[in-house]
Amino acid sequence: MHMTEHGDSGPDCLVNFRDLGGLPAEDGVTTRSGVLYRGDAPYDGDRPPEGATSWPPTAVVDLRDTEEEKSGPHPLERVSTVHHVPVLEGLRDESGADPWDTLAELYGCMVERAPKRLLEVFRIVLESPGPVLVHCAAGKDRTGVVCALLLSAAGVRRDAIVTDYVHTDRNMYQVLRRLRIAPEMPTGVDESAVRELVSAPAEAIEHLLRTVDTEDGGAAGWLIRHGASDAEIDRWRDKLLGSAV
Identity of the residue numbered 240: L
CATH 3.90.190.10 assigned to domain 18-241? The reply is yes
Q: Determine the pLDDT at residue 73.
A: 92
| Domains of the chain, residue spans | 18-241
Nearest Cα to Cα of residue 36 among 19, 13, 61: 19
Give the DSSP per-residue string, 153-202. Answer: HHTB-HHHHHHHHHGGGGGHHHHHHHTT-PBP--TT--GGGGGGTS---H
Alpha-helix runs per DSSP H in 54-133: 103-113, 115-127
pLDDT tens by residue, 154-210: 999 999 999 999 999 889 889 988 988 755 544 554 555 445 446 788 999 999 999
The structure's pTM equals 0.89
- Strand order of the sheet with strand 59-62? 18-19, 36-39, 132-135, 59-62, 81-84
pLDDT tens by residue, 40-71: 999 999 999 999 999 999 999 999 999 887 76
Mean pLDDT is lowest, of 62-71, 83-92, 109-118, 179-188, for 179-188
